[in-house]
Amino acid sequence: EVQVVESGGGLVQPGGSLRLSCAASGFTFSSFWMSWVRQAPGKGLEWVANIKQDGSEKYYVDSVKGRFTISRDNAKNSLYLQMNSLRAEDTAVYYCARGQQVDYWGQGTLVTVSS
């Protein structure tokens, strides 16, 4: 069974940092692009970043460029999102999702940026 499980969310002050993790199982992690997608409270979905199978290509939505870094460890079947210089508008549930089809999603982890 394909599973992705996010962790690492929480309450952080503006300007702070947080690192999200995503543990994948049930599929060959190293064969898939992986994405982070977020959803602010009561709002729609926003794609945040993705990373190629070997980590050689990474793409970001403009609003997080220079602040967020996506990475992966294929040996650990894990995906990460390092978030720095956090802003109130980064408050959202962050989902880890598989592949170009974004076909399997985790339950998400809530990040709240507030003083």
Partner 1 sequence: QAVVTQPASLSASPGASASLTCTLRSGINVGNYRIYWYQQKPGSPPQYLLRYKSDSDKQQGSGVPSRFSGSKDASANAGILLISGLQSEDEADYYCMIWLSSAGVFGGGTRLTVL
Q: Which residues bind partner 1 (CB under 8 A)?
A: 35, 37, 44-47, 50, 57, 59-61, 95, 100-108
Rounded (10°) CA dihedral 3, 85, 55, 107: 10
Minimal distance in Å, beta carbon 101 to partner 1? 6
Residue among 29 and 36 whose Cβ is closer to partner 1? 36
Residue 13 beta carbon to partner 1: minimum distance, rounded to whole angstroms: 27
Residue 15 Cβ vs partner 1, minimum distance, rounded to whole Å:
26
Beta carbon nearer to partner 1, 89 or 103: 103
CB atoms near residue 37 (< 10 Å): 20
4 or 113: CB nearest partner 1: 4
Tokens of 57: 């290509």
Phi and psi (nearest 5°) for 29?
A: -55, -40
- Other CB atoms closer than 10 Å to residue 107's CB: what's the count? 11
